[in-house]
Amino acid sequence: FKVTRVQSAPIDGQKPGTSGLRKKVKVFTQPHYLHNFVQSTFNALSAEKVRGSTLVVSGDGRYYSKDAIQNIIKMSAANGVRRIWVGQNGLLSTPAVSAVVRERVGADGSKANGAFILTASHNPGGPNEDFGIKYNMENGGPAPEGITDKIYENTKTIKEYLIAEDLPEVDISAIGISNFSGPEGQFDVEVFDAASDYVKLMKSIFDFQLIQKLLTSPQFTFCYDALSGVAGAYAKRIFVEELGAKESSLLNCVPKEDFGGGHPDPNLTYAKELVSRMGLGKNPNSDPPEFGAAADGDADRNMILGKRFFVTPSDSVAIIAANAVQAIPYFSSGLKGVARSMPTSAALDVVAKHLNLKFFEVPTGWKFFGNLMDAGLCSICGEESFGTGSDHIREKDGIWAVLAWLSILAYKNKDNLNGGKLVTVEDIVKQHWATFGRHYYTRYDYENVDAGAAKELMAYLVKMQSSIGEVNKIIKGVRSDVSNVANADEFEYKDPVDGSISKHQGIRYLFEDGSRLVFRLSGTGSEGATIRLYIEQYEKDSSKTGRDSQEALAPLVEVALKLSKMQEFTGRSAPTVIT
Ligand code: VG1
Ligand code: CO
């Protein structure tokens, strides 16, 4: 092939957000849009690092992925990349990409240096919906802010990109290696099975035999919903073929380019089919399974449900951490430490204290956990946004979280599978609350509000922080039963490993009784602004941990809405999504 230098010019708005660049497909398909971003990434990594490297390119299979993959292959060839690895049909879940970068060894002994992940995660897909791209580093984790800032700077000055226009299309549906030769030598594209490396890793972490006993027991019933995302490609292999679950326990497990028209977001609002199958929501099933779970488009998120019972993600990570050493072989020699994102509830903090573990609170987004893990400081971490994971890779991992829960259930029911009474998901959560107390928790999302109005609301909340006395007066005027604000700030993080500082990571109001209100603007949307309001209240008294959470949090919610003048600023009387 030949290398062509194509003249280009900067295009506005290519700043990567919480997890890569996410825009409408129509934005991505403008001339040079994808190319500018990919070349800016190569330039940020530096030509020496790119030349001769091995890169993974794949994603959740959403609309436009196939074109994007062919283009990235051609640009990689032109930039001197030595080989590209592609999951069959261009599919690899985000956690599988991380696993492949870290673990996979090519036929010739090669190892990957990084990856382009093509996904907009939980955002809908299709010609009128979202596409996304992000770059992950040699450790399998998202590029740190130092790199994403450089990429953005490059997009603002780009003049040209390199592409091998005459490189033939590579058939990504067939496993095998294609060889090409260019001005700088050989270039290969290897298409490989999307699941095997990931399955192998999962088998090295969990006791598959123990989980299989649970999943094949007539006493236990199970349901997994991939929401038509890429998790389906792994669910069948792992839950059905390896662990013996019935084929009928899989819902929406065929990956689709448009996720069947839905939002591939595993929460009580968007995972409707699973929610009613589990006996919750509208039209609840009268005989729900014991355990249910769902994933997002790229399979890094998870929602855990018991029979007629929802486990909050903040509780989920705390419960996994509290049980990991006993129930999961990978952790049998102990946990190095645990971490959560700032808006995630403090349920994990209480476990860390109890078990005397190192504990870290980081900004939203997985990239901050990676440094802690690389330094051996953190084994398990999670976010309130349905993300849970461990140091087996450097991304959150939806199927891992399900296997962790199945391990805990299998361990607690070791002796009950001969007709004894089953310890259920609900039992495990309630037992946890009895031991550690309960963090009532909810998140209100105001999606696609006017960006200017959202900024004004945030600025107003920052301004209010300088007069706590005034804030407390407002609160008392709204609800006399809500405690006083003791402290308020904007969260700032100093990475304990490399000393880097991340500012403006969310506005916090911290109450005397441990309650918290957090306000953030989303960094993953593709239209307008999304305001997230996180509400949390701690209850230590075990006689009061069984309340309905929306009811328990109602006073605090009222205070949050009045204090922020939510309706005045946004014109919204209700959130778009409550989780
Ligand atoms: C959201 C979540 C955050 C998560 C991020 C990426 O970000 O709040 O916790 O890490 O999505 O998840 P934001 O900036 O919109 O609040 V995924 O599954 O979209 O890669
Ligand atoms: Co995701």
pLDDT over threshold 80, residue 525: no
Interval between CA 365 and ligand 1 midpoint (Å)? 6
pLDDT over threshold 90, residue 71: yes
Check pocket membership of 121 for ligand 1, CB cut-off 6 A. Answer: yes
pLDDT over threshold 80, residue 511: yes
Q: At what angle do helices 196-205 and 94-103 cross, to 10 degrees?
A: 80
DSSP 544: G
User: Per-residue b/e over 15-52, b at no fewer than 16 CB within 10 Å?
Assistant: ebbbbbbbbbbebbeeebbbbbbbbbbbbbbeeeebee
Say if residue 455 is in the same domain as residue 522. yes
pLDDT over threshold 90, residue 517: yes
Interval between CA 174 and ligand 1 midpoint (Å)? 33
Check pocket membership of 301 for ligand 1, CB cut-off 6 A. Answer: yes
pLDDT over threshold 80, residue 426: yes
Name the strand (E) or helix (H) holding 154: helix 145-155
Q: What is the ipTM of this complex?
A: 0.97
Check pocket membership of 18 for ligand 1, CB cut-off 6 A. Answer: yes
pLDDT at 523 (0 to 100): 78
The structure tokens listed for 452 are 């200017």
Say if residue 388 is in the same domain as residue 461. no
297, 125 Cβ separation under 8 angstroms: yes
pLDDT over threshold 80, residue 524: no
Say if residue 402 is in the same domain as residue 267. yes
Q: At what angle do helices 549-564 and 451-464 cross, to 10 degrees?
A: 90
pLDDT at 148 (0 to 100): 94
- Say if strands 359-362 and 338-341 run parallel, antiparallel, or are unpaired: parallel
Name the pLDDT band for 154 (thresholds 50, 70, 90): very high
Say if residue 160 is in the same domain as residue 177. yes
Give the separation between CA 246 and CA 45, rounded to whole angstroms.
46
The structure tokens listed for 359 are 């504990």
Name the pLDDT band for 372 (thresholds 50, 70, 90): very high
Residue nearest to atom 17 of ligand 1 (CA): 121
Average pLDDT over residues 381-391: 97
The structure tokens listed for 58 are 């794949």
Residue nearest to atom 10 of ligand 1 (CA): 365
pLDDT over threshold 90, residue 272: yes
Say if residue 354 is in the same domain as residue 446. no
> Which position has the token pair 């919750």?
280
Count of structural domains, the chain: 3
Give the separation between CA 207 and CA 316, rounded to whole angstroms.
20
The structure tokens listed for 242 are 């390896």
Q: Which atom of ligand 1 is nearest to the CA of 383?
A: 9
pLDDT over threshold 80, residue 10: yes
pLDDT at 65 (0 to 100): 98
Say if residue 356 is in the same domain as residue 399. yes
Name the pLDDT band for 542 (thresholds 50, 70, 90): confident
> Which position has the token pair 């969260």?
491
Say if residue 357 is in the same domain as residue 420. yes
Burial of 160 (0-12, 13-18, 19+ CB in 10 A): middle
Shortest-distance ligand to the CA of residue 20? 1
Shortest-distance ligand to the CA of residue 447? 1
Check pocket membership of 366 for ligand 1, CB cut-off 6 A. Answer: yes
230, 93 Cβ separation under 8 angstroms: yes
Residue nearest to atom 18 of ligand 1 (CA): 121
Q: Which atom of ligand 1 is nearest to the CA of 530?
A: 15
Name the pLDDT band for 544 (thresholds 50, 70, 90): confident
Say if residue 65 is in the same domain as residue 182. yes
pLDDT at 514 (0 to 100): 87
The total of other beta-carbon atoms located within 10 Å of residue 13's CB is: 10
Check pocket membership of 383 for ligand 1, CB cut-off 6 A. Answer: yes
Say if residue 241 is in the same domain as residue 206. yes
Domain of residue 570: give its range: 438-578
Q: Which residues have a beta carbon within 5 Å of ligand 2, which is an ion?
A: 121, 296, 298, 300-301
Q: Which are the contacts of 239, defined by CB distance < 8 A and separation ≥ 6?
A: 215, 222, 224, 245, 249, 250
> Annotated active-site positions, please?
121
Say if residue 386 is in the same domain as residue 474. no
pLDDT at 367 (0 to 100): 83
DSSP bridge partners of 137: none
Q: Which atom of ligand 1 is nearest to the CA of 525?
A: 15
Check pocket membership of 442 for ligand 1, CB cut-off 6 A. Answer: no
Nearest to 348, CA basis, from 415, 437, 287: 437
Say if residue 422 is in the same domain as residue 442. no
What CATH number does the domain containing 361 carry? 3.40.120.10
The total of other beta-carbon atoms located within 10 Å of residue 551's CB is: 9
pLDDT at 527 (0 to 100): 75
Shortest-distance ligand to the CA of residue 231? 2
72 vs 467 pLDDT, higher one:
72
Domain boundary among 413, 436, 459: 436
Whole-angstrom CA distances from 395 to 144, 234, 264, 358 are 13, 16, 18, 20
User: Per-residue b/e over 311-335, b at no fewer than 16 CB within 10 Å?
Assistant: bbbbbbbbbbbbbbbebbebbeeeb
pLDDT at 455 (0 to 100): 94
pLDDT over threshold 90, residue 478: no
pLDDT at 237 (0 to 100): 97
- pTM for the full model? 0.94
Domain boundary among 381, 408, 436: 436
pLDDT over threshold 80, residue 251: yes
Say if residue 121 is in the same domain as residue 202. no
Domain boundary among 178, 194, 210: 194
The total of other beta-carbon atoms located within 10 Å of residue 305's CB is: 29
